[in-house]
Amino acid sequence: MSDLASSFFRVERDGAIAHLVMNRPDKANGMTADFWSDLPRLVDALGRDETVRVAIISGEGRHFTGGMDLAAFADIAKLFDNEPGRAAYAMRDTILALQGAFNAIERARFPVIAAVHGACIGAGIDMITACDLRLAAADAYFSIEEIHIGMAADVGTLQRLPKLIAPSIAAELAYTGRRFPADEARAIGLVSQVLPDRVALSAAAFDLAESIARKSPLAIAGIKRNLAYARDHSVADGLDYIATWNAGMLRPAELMTAVQAKMAKSEAMFADLLRM
């Protein structure tokens, strides 16, 4: 079986761009067990392909995703039929495994763009907050739905969202679970662009991906790593980290390629990273 085979995702390639399409439109791309196992596997497989420089995640059908599939909730609930201590331990392991699916996005060496249309609720928020960039169609709407079923979101939203938007706004959205539209998502900084429709959204996502793919993959990987580090560390620690990073990763040939292309008003050509 190919590393990129999946019963949940359709994986497409356009040059240096990988496109992961959630392909369960009849169920609003509800996240089944296959989703949780396939996503990290696919992202890691793409990371081993040195020709991949950026990825896009989108959804087929009317919605980006309705969040975790109800059948998956039912399977998890069965854990509590067991002895309480052992059930709690197994539940913790299950949650950590689910978190790992989105950690893979954050861990990837290349940027990941979420292209959101229609519903993005529940675990959909967990996923897009792990992405590097988020675009939305005008019909998109968002909700941290977990509060409506009596639980706190536990797969990344409460940890990542307050680092992307104002903590007080993140708190209000988590406490109430209210739905908010694309324009509000842009106003609070959750998405960077709102496009008129799904066609324009796809075009904008690919334009953005192509712009990133033309840059030095070594520099792009450094930016991603240092943005993540800076988010979780002090300014002083972040400055020290980037100094050490560039001391080891900055290469004169890369700089000269970029400078000469700029002077010649041409497109710089950068070598792929080494195969992993």
Residue 224 and residue 108 in one domain: no
Query: Quick check: is 2 in a domain?
Result: no
Say yes or no to pLDDT of 35 above 90. Answer: yes
Query: Quick check: is 150 in a domain?
Result: yes
Least confident of 69-73, 120-124, 246-250: 69-73
Residue 34 and residue 74 in one domain: yes
Place of tokens 């969040």: 67
Percent of the chain with pLDDT over 70: 99
Q: How confident is the model at residue 1 (pLDDT cuts 50, 70, 90)?
A: very low
Helical segments of the chain, H only: 33-47, 70-77, 84-107, 123-130, 157-164, 167-176, 182-187, 198-213, 217-231, 235-249, 252-263
> Looking at residue 177, which CATH number applies to its domain?
3.90.226.10
The pLDDT assigned to 109 comes to 96
**End-to-end Cα spacing for the chain:** 19
Residue 203 and residue 241 in one domain: no
Residue 177 and residue 237 in one domain: no
Model pTM score:
0.94
Residue 248 and residue 163 in one domain: no
Residue 99 and residue 123 in one domain: yes
Residue 196 and residue 229 in one domain: no
Residue 154 and residue 248 in one domain: no
User: What are the pLDDT digits (tens) for 161-220?
Assistant: 999 999 999 999 999 999 999 999 999 999 999 999 999 999 999 999 999 999 999 999
Range of the domain at 107: 9-213
Say yes or no to pLDDT of 15 above 70. Answer: yes
